[in-house]
Structure 1
Amino acid sequence: MSNFLTATTLGNPNPNKSFEVSEPPNDSVSSLSFSPKANFLVATSWDNQVRCWEIMRNGVNVASMPKASIMHDQPVLCSTWKDDGMTVFSGGCDKQVKMWPLMSGGQPMTVAVHDAPISEMAWIPEMSLLVTGSWDKTLKYWDTRQSNPVHVQQLPERCYAFTVKHPLMVVGTADRNLIVFNLQNPQTEYKRIVSPLKYQTRCVAAFPDLQGFLVGSIEGRVGVHHLDDQQQSKNFTFKCHREGSETYSVNSLNFHPVHHTFATAGSDGAFNFWDKDSKQRLKAMSRCSQPIPCSTFNSDGSIFAYSVCYDWSKGAENHNPATAKTYIFLHLPQESEVKSKPRIGTSGRK
């Protein structure tokens, strides 16, 4: 199963027996985001669409019902919800952000624009602002009632990933820059760090306690980085999403909202749960037959959503649209998979 082509054509897309979301997109999924208020899941995809499902859980069973969808002019790369759970923002290759009053049944309207594709976005409740990151090497902050950004922050390179947990924001750009902002003073960089990983940054995630962040790279490795200079001895990196000599991209990092452990998902088709404090993997899930480009927890951590589809990591020549199918799955994490436990009998590894 280590051969990529064999795995994609012959393997099982759902070896972990997760619940399948009905009527998935027709092309690869680029982002997944749950409403902060209820179990509504939004997916953006390369078929230019933004879709929403209502997820209904009854004990150990989960069902999904398509609720609504909107179109962009080009592939959609990122999405986020407003904190009231009523409105969805989406952006991508058409260089614009649409604000969709999903829950009130309203029509989407353009509220933000960039000079190049928009790769990341987040709603910041504490500031009532939307922040967008783009390949045009800027971050822009938007008051959605105004047509111009309230602040434009130049970046050293294209924005590839960011994480926001007020007042902490960490932006990963090309050339392995990691730029830390204190959102109480967003016009000034707080700190600039070269990634502890040797290869391109793919994803970042702020610690729930704001003391640092995780960074994942295209080369199957995650860095655990603390911001305080006094805590640098606690920094470490670890390998994941590898098989033999094959290394795969770490595509997604998500902290569990209750237990503060975290999940990684990768181009090897696996997702795993980890505890950074005891430096151990809590649970390794079986590999799906295609990559996992994105994943997310719902607001209370009782559902973990992940997509299984081609992610272009092996180039266009390895993609056959006729046979490739896109899936979105829902996994119900057991407490044993996501609750931290003490490490037994070791002194902790680097």
Structure 2
Amino acid sequence: MTLMSGTESPNEFKLDSVATDCIQSLKFGNHSNHLLLSSSWDCSVRLHDISSNTLRVKYTQSAPVLDSAFQDSHRVWSGGFEQNVKVYDLNASTETIVGSHVGPIRCVESSPEVNAVVTGGWDAYVKLWDPRAPSAIGAYQQPDKVYTMAVCGDKVVVGTAGRRVLVWDLRNMAYVQQRRESSLKYQTRCIRCFPNKQGYVLSSIEGRVAVEYLDPSPEVQRKKYAFKCHRNKDNTSGIEVIYPVNAISFHSGYNTFATGGSDGYVNIWDGFNKKRLCQFHKYPSSISSLCFSPDGTYLAIASSFLYETEETRDIPPDAIFIRRVTDQETKPK
């Protein structure tokens, strides 16, 4: 393992053989702390073994891949600009097209609780797939393009354009359980659910994060709140620069969560006690994706240039950092 240069992170290393264009998604296996999937704009899906820092598998599609997820230990689902939902068998090195959307596929999530895979696309549809069936078992229209999606037990929380949030029950998709509007004023970037399944965290393009609860009762809804983050005040001009919050990932054991922004920083938050636990050092470019390992010992951090500025000289290469996190960084105080 090549440790990072500099004294800031002896507990962090860079993965070898990563994508060469924006890394859009990172996912660990449901029960694996060492196998990490990355999907990227260089049209590849890669399976990394972080324990030996090796690239186990790489396969490509004809267009950028925006998301992928493990169905189980040897099958990976993926989707992107090709508009096809694909299943790749890691053991047999074979790829199967199981269906498609009529627009780019933005989100691919696996739900072990109901043995299903859920995809969301810019065609404003969420599709439900039973891995044993030859095609989608349902297609459900959303109010607008799907930007982000999170499985929360037997529910799925969908964030669309127009700041809409929909909560569906995967066991009964006949109707939407809840329709909400984001409590943030600007475009939704990411939604992730609390491991205890009580709620979700939503981020936007203007340096804000909202903590929301699924229980619609007024007393529970009173607990929801939002806070500012990933902002930077210029000391000379006094101007505050506000950055999109692109990525969120929860620690499975502590219900704390990490956020990654276009400022190149990763913060760890205690959402219940409303405080920041720590901030890591600055990464080379925007944080495009984050994922804690299932046991919470590692945080995978994707650093990719997201073309949010006109300045395109000296763009740092895309990178994935693996950080071994400590209780001091992730446990509520």
What TM-score do you get using the length of structure 1 for normalisation?
Answer: 0.87
Partner amino acid, structure 2, of 1:91? G
Q: CA–CA distance in 1 between the matches of 2:6 and 2:302?
A: 10
Q: CA–CA distance in 2 between the matches of 1:32 and 1:147?
A: 27
CA positional deviation for 1:323? 4.3
Task: Verify: 1:52 aligned to 2:47, yes or no.
Answer: yes
Q: CA–CA distance in 2 between the matches of 1:146 and 1:13?
A: 51
Aligned twin of 2:127: 140
Q: 1:123 to 1:334 in 2, by over 3 A?
A: same
> Which of 146, 155, 160 pairs up with 2:142?
155
Aligned twin of 1:3: none
Aligned twin of 2:311: 318
CA positional deviation for 1:133? 0.1
Partner amino acid, structure 2, of 1:226? Y
SS class of match (2:220) = helix
Aligned twin of 2:326: 334
Aligned twin of 2:18: 24
CA positional deviation for 1:319? 3.2
Report the aligned-residue RMSD.
1.7
Q: CA–CA distance in 2 between the matches of 1:176 and 1:153?
A: 18
CA positional deviation for 1:238? 0.5
Q: 1:131 to 1:13 in 2, by over 3 A?
A: farther
Q: CA–CA distance in 1 between the matches of 2:41 and 2:154?
A: 32
Q: CA–CA distance in 2 between the matches of 1:273 and 1:105?
A: 39
SS class of match (2:276) = strand
Q: CA–CA distance in 2 between the matches of 1:323 and 1:294?
A: 18
* Deviations, residues 192-216 of structure 1 (Å, cap 9, x unaligned): 1110000000001112222211100
Aligned twin of 2:221: 232
> Which of 272, 276, 282 pairs up with 2:277?
282
Partner amino acid, structure 2, of 1:236? Y
SS class of match (2:26) = strand
Partner amino acid, structure 1, of 2:171? Q
What TM-score do you get using the length of structure 2 for normalisation?
Answer: 0.92
Aligned twin of 1:208: 195
Task: Verify: 1:308 aligned to 2:299, yes or no.
Answer: no
Q: CA–CA distance in 1 between the matches of 2:6 and 2:57?
A: 25
Task: Verify: 1:126 aligned to 2:85, yes or no.
Answer: no
Partner amino acid, structure 1, of 2:22? S
Task: Verify: 1:91 aligned to 2:79, yes or no.
Answer: yes
- Residue correspondences, number: 319
Q: CA–CA distance in 1 between the matches of 2:184 and 2:139?
A: 28
Q: Runs of 5+ in structure 2 lacking a partner?
A: 234-239
Bigger helix share: 1
